[in-house]
Amino acid sequence: MEGTMDGAAMAGKDSALLGKTGAEPRAGDQEEGLILAVETSCDETAAAVVEGGTRIRSNIVSSQIAIHRRFGGVVPEVASRGHVEQITAVMAAALEDAGVHPQDLAAVAVTYGPGLVGALLVGLMAAKTFAWVHGLPLIGVHHIVGHLFAHRLAGGPEPPWLALVVSGGHTELIYIPNDHTFEVLGRTRDDAAGEAFDKTARALGLPYPGGPQIDALASSGDPERYPLPRSWLEEESLDFSFSGLKTAVLNLLNDARQRGDGVRPEDVAASFQAAVVEVLVEKTVRAVRRYPGVPVVVAGGVAANSALRRVMDRRAEEEGFLWSAPPLALCTDNAAMIAAAAWPRLSRGWFHGMDLNARANLGLEAWAAGTGWRRSRRMIRRMGGVATESLGSRSGHGGIRMGQRSVEAPVASMAG
């Protein structure tokens, strides 16, 4: 089901990608809603096959971490080249592991932003080519929406729910009243939480990626040894800011160096981690107070952090809310989450054209509102549902009703 690959393991897998040019998708198989998804926004080359938006049939992640570690962080050009080398074999392995032929698929989903533009382009070109060759609809996915939907693959809550997305590139609190609406309540004004972990780790001389290193080191440290700042911003604000904390850690290390004193790296790691976690959790608690009774999902790579999980457990119990996080393998970048995020769009007959371009700064609101989407009556009929409203609607609980037949509402633009 899930797997990681290195170059050697992937040799000879390309043949599974070769299908009949222009093959028409089979209607029967489409009802299973098999989506092949591709993710290359940063340093993981990933492909997966997911059924019905929730059941993982395969999930292949080829990580470049070992390559980037040499440079102390992700080097964009190196990432792009790595994706070029891996993508074909990773996609082939995803199909092979799932036991799926291209003609069994209902659609191809791909991350087209936000992320490193060169890295995104590789996955996007591979997905477009595959979709075009096999006559499949293409669904472009926002990377953060992927993280948001990862929990669907592990039986997470149905809407409405609140998400704390904490990754190397993002820190956001989002209210999700339905599968198509994302209300950003707060976001970082400078560094992302994962970025702060990575930069602090680097200052401590730890290898990339720093989050897991700090987490491990902090387990034997004293979180109260160094008083570090917590940035709460304005009283009502659910925004975050971590650059002041990062600077405080750098000053602490420089001062100690100039005085000729040593610091205990374990205590620096624990004190830093405690400061990040306290702000993340307390802002989440503030968001829960605005939406009482709504469960919380913590998503993104930093959701793996053990202190974050511990403090969330304690505060959720004290405040009386439910929270969960996807399993670790689904918290970090993967393509199964991209398929899960594509599913609600596919089931409404929404897709993108072959002119879809990579967008380094793709906005969540623009993606959710349906900018650049096309809609197909034929796809809607194939999916067995009925379009009753447009995407991005704030009230939008109706949407497509799978398996029901009634009068179709006017469709925004016709293609296919």
Residues that bind ligand KG4 (CB under 6 A): 42, 167-169, 194, 197-198, 209-212, 215, 300-302, 304-305, 332-333
Q: Which is nearer to ligand KG4, 138 or 277 (CB)?
A: 277
Q: Which is nearer to ligand KG4, 299 or 400 (CB)?
A: 299
Query: What CA–CA distance (Å, rounded) separates 352 from 374?
Result: 6
Sorted by sequence, the CB contacts under 8 Å of residue 316 that are 6+ apart come out as 296, 322, 323
> CB under 5 A: which stretch of 3-11, 166-174, 308-316, 393-401 binds Zn ion?
166-174
Site string for Zn ion, 116-155 (x = CB under 5 A): ----------------------------------------
Q: Which is nearer to ligand KG4, 126 or 269 (CB)?
A: 269
Strands 323-324 and 350-351: unpaired
User: Which of 117, 173, 384, 180 lies closest to 285, judged by CA?
Assistant: 173
Site size toward Zn ion (CB under 5 A) is 2
* 43: partner contacted, choices Zn ion, ligand KG4, none (Cβ within 5-8 A by kind): none
Choice from 40, 62, 64, 167 touching Zn ion (CB under 5 A): 167
- How many Cα atoms within 13 Å fall on the side-chain side of residue 201? 24
Q: Which is nearer to Zn ion, 170 or 283 (CB)?
A: 170
Shortest Å, Cβ 387 to Zn ion: 30
Shortest Å, Cβ 147 to Zn ion: 6
Query: What CA–CA distance (Å, rounded) separates 64 from 266?
Result: 27
Q: Is residue 333 involved in binding Zn ion (CB under 5 A)? A: yes
Token pair belonging to 400: 């497509």
* 335: partner contacted, choices Zn ion, ligand KG4, none (Cβ within 5-8 A by kind): none
Shortest Å, Cβ 362 to Zn ion: 13
Q: Which is nearer to ligand KG4, 88 or 200 (CB)?
A: 200
Query: What CA–CA distance (Å, rounded) separates 53 from 179?
Result: 12
Element (H, E) at 123: helix 117-133
Residue 22 region, left (φ>0) first, then alpha (ψ -120 to 50), else beta?
left
* 194: partner contacted, choices ligand KG4, Zn ion, none (Cβ within 5-8 A by kind): ligand KG4
Rg of the Cα trace of the chain? 22
* 304: partner contacted, choices Zn ion, ligand KG4, none (Cβ within 5-8 A by kind): ligand KG4
Sorted by sequence, the CB contacts under 8 Å of residue 115 that are 6+ apart come out as 40, 41, 42, 143, 169, 358, 360
Q: Which is nearer to ligand KG4, 104 or 333 (CB)?
A: 333
Q: Which is nearer to ligand KG4, 284 or 305 (CB)?
A: 305
User: Which of 45, 209, 189 lies closest to 116, judged by CA?
Assistant: 45
Shortest Å, Cβ 300 to Zn ion: 6
First to last CA, the chain: 33
> CB under 5 A: which stretch of 44-52, 88-96, 159-167, 255-263 binds Zn ion?
159-167
Shortest Å, Cβ 167 to ligand KG4: 3
Q: Which is nearer to Zn ion, 147 or 374 (CB)?
A: 147
Shortest Å, Cβ 101 to ligand KG4: 30
Shortest Å, Cβ 37 to Zn ion: 14
Token pair belonging to 45: 């080359």
What's the one-letter identity of residue 314? R
Sign of the four-CA dihedral 345, 350, 351, 357:
negative
**Triad 38, 43, 46: Cα angle to 5°:** 25
Q: What is the dihedral of CA 289, 291, 292, 293, to 10 degrees?
A: -140
Instruction: Kindly report the number of other CB atoms within 10 A of residue 66's CB atom.
Output: 9
Q: Which is nearer to ligand KG4, 184 or 294 (CB)?
A: 184
Shortest Å, Cβ 401 to ligand KG4: 33
One-character DSSP codes across 370-411: TTT-EE-HHHHHHTT----S-TT-SS---S--TT---PPPPP
> CB under 5 A: which stretch of 153-161, 165-173, 190-198, 257-265 binds Zn ion?
165-173
Shortest Å, Cβ 81 to ligand KG4: 19
Binding positions for Zn ion, rule: CB under 5 A: 167, 333
